[in-house]
Amino acid sequence: MTKKIAILLFALVLAPGALPAQNETTDALIKSLAIKVKMYPGDYKAYAGLGAAYLQKGRETGDSADYELAKAALSRSLDLMSNDPAAAFAMTQMAAACMAEHQFDQAYIWAQKALAVGSGDPSPWAIAGDALADMGDYQNAADAYSMLKTVYGSEDEQQAILYQRDSRMSYLRLVAGDAQGAIQLMQGAVQTATAMHMPAENIAWSDYQLGEEYFQTGDIAHAEQAYLAALRLYPGYYRALAGLAKVRSSAGNYRAAAALYDKAIAAVPYPEYAAALGDVYRAIGDSNKAQKEFDLVEFIGHLSGINKQIHNRELALFYADHGIKLDQAVVLARRELEVRHDVYTWDVLAWALFTNGESKEAAAAMSNALSHGTKDAQLFFHAGMIYADLDDSLQARAFLQQALAINPHFHPIYAETARQTLANLSTKTGSSPIQEAANAR
């Protein structure tokens, strides 16, 4: 099951030295900066630029090796220049690289260091907030995002900072269960990005994020529009392809969904995309292809030490979703919880515990996942299943109804599981589950 509203390392593209999105452009930039640092080994700016370019490359390809290259270049830049406001850029990039590698505490420290050199650019607050949000400290994340304002620079630069704030605040609203507020903020962010003529990838990301928020609230039509808008602006954008695949899958158009997931994986082989594609094949009944994708999930997840670190949660969810390596699912989820305490990590731990028959402990973890009021079909589905196993049919029904009310097509397989479980529970009490789901909407 793919479920993640990504907080992106998005400050970077708005920071000094913004990078064009296309792979070829990034490759060319890396090449030219690599030559430059060879010619001028004392040029801290060139090293910082090279680090930023590798980071961009990592975002484009999902290859964690690029993050390590980014860190090496940034580290060299900071060896040359660290006690100066000019070092803030490299420090912010370092924070972003740490975020990409899920080293949230390190990301926070680097963001604070970037702020401490006093460059006058509030962008590091964005990464500080992102790190805090991933560590589950939503209140302080909101405080950090609220610092994203400036009176310096051009009007466009000031708008760019507000864009960073609003797009991130939108995510926090979503976590807090205020979907309408989240969507409003994201709509504003899209408008700002468009009005400012930001690079295509940035606008596309905003559209994609808006699509995710619509999808999460079950507004599939608007989600589709947003994903398509992203693809129009930035053809082949893997996030939007995967988003659109979800839309097609939710409409039962599995062939189209599979084709879109294939394209997304060809661009960036994220394990969650492979897992989702496997689920689509499973829904079609093509178990061979499904298994191939599931094998790919593990292969990607274990490709490198860093990948293991980055994809702990996705792998845990994958194992739990597919009933394999269940004990490992709990181990991975707990490992992720050591560095990340956001609602989705608690949710995955709860789900992994449930699949291991530890429903009581799962319920405790689930209460943490739901403690911020997040209205997410996946969370409610997991909660419903956990409480059903605990024979608390009242709670179970309430959660499952909520899951289906939010988005009746939240997953190609588990949406149906939710309906069936609800039906079984309702049979016991004599009411119609479909009617209840409709009422709940």
Partner 1 sequence: MKKICLTATAFLLALFAHGQSPFRGLTPAQQQIAWSQAAIQTNPDKAQPYNDLALGYIRRARETGDNSYLNQAEAALKDSAKRVPGNLEGEKAHAMILLGHDQFVEALQFSRKLNQKTPDDILTYGFIADAATALGDYAEAEQATQWMLDLREGNIPGLLRAARLRVIYGDTDGALDFYSQAYQQIPPTQTEDQAWTLTQMAEIQLSTGHLDEADSLLRSALQKFPGYYLTLEAAARVETARHHYSQALDLLRQRDDGSVSLSSLYFLALTLDRAGDSTAASAYKGFELKALNATNEAVNANRQLVLYYLGRGNKPAEALRIAEQEVSRRHDVFTLDAHAWALCANSRYGDAKKQIDPVLALGIRDAAIFYHAGAIAERLDDHADAVRYLNQSLELNPESEVAVEAHDALAKAIAASAMASNKR
Q: Are 251 and 409 in contact (CB under 8 A)?
A: yes
Binding map of partner 1 across residues 39-78, x = CB under 8 A, - = no contact: ---------------------------------------x
Distance CA 357, CA 351 (A): 10
Q: How many CB atoms lie within 10 A of CB 206?
A: 30
Q: Is the dihedral of CA 352, 357, 359, 360 positive or negative?
A: negative
120 binds partner 1 (CB under 8 A): yes
Judged by CB under 8 A, which of 5, 70, 132, 388 binds partner 1? 132
- For residues 167 and 185, is the Cβ–Cβ distance under 8 A? yes
Task: Count CB-CB contacts under 10 A for residue 287.
Answer: 12
Q: Does 11 bind partner 1 (CB under 8 A)?
A: no
Among 6, 32, 40, 118, binds partner 1 (CB under 8 A): 118
Geometric angle at alpha carbon 57, from 210 and 183, rounded to 5°: 10
Q: Which stretch binds partner 1 (CB under 8 A): 83-91, 204-212, 360-368, 420-428?
A: 83-91
Q: Out of 31, 40, 79, 428, which residue is the one contacting partner 1 (CB under 8 A)?
A: 79
Smallest distance, Å, CB 109 to partner 1?
Answer: 7
Binding segment for partner 1 among 145-153, 161-169, 214-222, 278-286 (CB under 8 A)?
145-153
Q: Put residue 22 in one of left, alpha, beta given phi > 0 → left and psi -120 to 50 → alpha.
A: beta
Q: With respect to partner 1, which residue has the nearer C-beta, 78 or 370?
A: 78
Token pair 């515990």 is found at: 353
When the beta carbons of 152 and 299 are compared against partner 1, the nearer one is 152
Span near partner 1 by CB under 8 A; candidates 143-151, 242-250, 321-329, 372-380: 143-151
Which lies closer to partner 1 via its Cβ, residue 115 or residue 242?
115
User: Which tokens in the block code for residue 39?
Assistant: 């010619």
Binds partner 1 by CB under 8 A, chosen from 32, 41, 84, 373:
84
Question: What tokens were used for 367?
Answer: 């209460």
255/150 Cα distance (integer angstroms): 48
Q: CA-CA distance, 265 to 273, in Å (whole number)? A: 6
Which CB, 115 or 244, lies closer to partner 1? 115
**Which stretch in 146-154, 195-203, 355-363, 422-430 sits in contact with partner 1 by CB under 8 A?**
146-154
Q: Are 49 and 17 spatial neighbours (Cβ–Cβ below 8 Å)?
A: yes
Chain residues that interact with partner 1, rule: CB under 8 A: 78-86, 105, 108-109, 112, 115-122, 128, 132, 137, 140, 143-144, 147, 150-153
